[in-house]
Amino acid sequence: MNVVITPVMIGQVIISGILVGTLYSMVALGLALIFGVMRVINVAHGPLLMLGAYATYFLYSAFGLNPYLTVPITMLLLFVVGVVLQRTLVFRVVGAPELASLLLTFGISIALVNLAQLAFTSDLRAVEYLTGSYIVGPFAFSKSRLIAFVFAAAVSGLAFLFLQRTKLGKAIRATSQSREVAMVCGIDVDRIHLFTFGLATALAAAGGALIAVIVAIQPEMGGVWTFKSFLVIVLGGAGNYPGALLGGMLLGLVEQLASLFLTTQLSEVVAYLLLVLVLLVRPTGLFGGRQT
């Protein structure tokens, strides 16, 4: 029953791992931002990604927009949703014990999923835009995943540059290092929180938009993305933004290789064992970073 593993197969799953890992990176960067700046674990991150996927689906199917052109529109829409959520609910648990933010965002999360079921039904939806792959020698590069990779790399890169270079980005990083000091320096922390939540939600939405072209979507699709983003920020070190990008790539590779050498079932175990191990041995994440 066992298949002999050849270098070609390893090459193929490494390709898959890197392609999907970039998506993990981008989505998890959003979660890392929220956690870094506000110390809130946003369980609703995946469901917000799901809303992004539906936004792209409807823009594509109702208005005939090219799904890749919808990415900025979807990001903008969900940026607004994120700001509204922060403004109405989430700001109340910033600074509260983690139980409050975990539960609050969990409540938001199941409400969003249920609302999506009511509004969109549980039927699968698919954007049949680019299927198939480019064949290069023995390797297959899925078209939709390759484009998602390019987009995710670009969006993550821009977000990263934004954090490094712009004034607002620096203010965000300052707030995530020390809320008090940031306040003393005249940074409007509440506004930074609003913007951070919006930006993080937009990153999730970009993920949703790209995923909608890769797999069929349904209201409950978000849950696994919340989990994967948790894994990524732990691997990369919470609040460590370059770490989140590397962590996503690492998770993609580990999952794919474990599925290849073991089974798909066990790849989940491997990913979570890695999480627990990293937490125990290096709670600041594999890629260094400051003490949290």
Partner 1 sequence: MTRAFLGALGVALAALALYPFFGTGYGVRATLQIFMWIALAGSWNLISGLTGYVSFGHVAFFGAGAYAGAILVAKVGWSWPAASLVGGVAACVLALVIGYPCLRLKGPYFAIAMLGLNEVLRALVSYFEGLTGGGSGLSLPTLDATIPIYYVMGVLAAAVTLLTYLIITSRFGLRLMTIREDEVAAEALGIDTARHKLYAFLLSAAGPGIAGALTARDQGYIEPISVFPLAMTITMIVMVLFGGKGTVWGPVLGAVVLFVSQEFVWARFPYLHQLLFGAIIVAVVLLMPRGVLGILQMKYRLPRTI
Partner 2 sequence: MRLRGLVALVWAAAVFGASLPVDAQAPGPIRIGASLSLTGTYAKLGNYQHEGYKLCAKQVNDKGGLLGRKVEFVVYDDQSTPATGVRLYEKLITEDKVDAVVGPYSSPITEAVANVTEKYKKVMVTPLAATTSIFKRPPDKKRHYIFMVISPAEVYLEGLIDMAAKRGLKTVAIVNEDTLFSKAAASGAADLAKKKGMQVVFQEGYPKGNQDFSALLTKIRAANPDVLAASTYFDDAVAITRQMKELNLNPKMYGITVGGDLPEFYDLLKQNAEYIYGATQWEATLPYPGNKEFAEAYTKEFGREPVYHSAAGYAGCVIYLDAVKRAGTLDADRVREVLLRLETKTAFGDFNVDQDGFQVAHKMVMTQWQGGKKVIVWPDDLAQAKPRFPMPAWNQR
Residues forming the site for partner 1 (CB under 8 A): 35, 39, 41, 89, 92-93, 96-100, 102-104, 106-115, 117-118, 227, 230-231, 234, 238, 263, 265-266, 268-269, 272-273, 275-276, 279-280, 283
- C-alpha count within 13 angstroms, C-beta hemisphere, residue 253: 11
Binding marks (x or -) toward partner 2, 198..237, rule CB under 8 A? ----------------xxx-x--x--x-------------
Work out what residue 6 binds among partner 2, partner 1, none; the CB cut-off runs from 5 to 8 Å by kind. partner 2
Alpha carbon distance 198, 77 (integer Å): 10
Closest distance between partner 2 and the C-beta of residue 234, in Å? 20
**Biggest CA-to-CA distance, the chain:** 65
Alpha carbon distance 194, 198 (integer Å): 6
CA angle 163–164–167, rounded 5-degree value: 70
Alpha carbon distance 10, 7 (integer Å): 5
CA angle 291–224–89, rounded 5-degree value: 70
Residue from 91, 133, 150, 287 in contact with partner 2 (CB under 8 A): 133
Work out what residue 269 binds among partner 2, partner 1, none; the CB cut-off runs from 5 to 8 Å by kind. partner 1
- Rule CB under 8 A: is residue 111 a binding residue for partner 2? no
Alpha carbon distance 131, 144 (integer Å): 7
- Rule CB under 8 A: is residue 268 a binding residue for partner 2? yes
Closest distance between partner 1 and the C-beta of residue 100, in Å? 5
Alpha carbon distance 145, 20 (integer Å): 7
Alpha carbon distance 197, 201 (integer Å): 6
- Rule CB under 8 A: is residue 65 a binding residue for partner 2? no
Q: Given the rule CB under 8 A, which residues bind partner 2?
A: 1, 3-6, 8-9, 12-13, 16, 20, 117, 122-126, 128, 131-133, 135, 140, 142-145, 214-216, 218, 221, 224, 255-257, 259-260, 263-265, 267-268
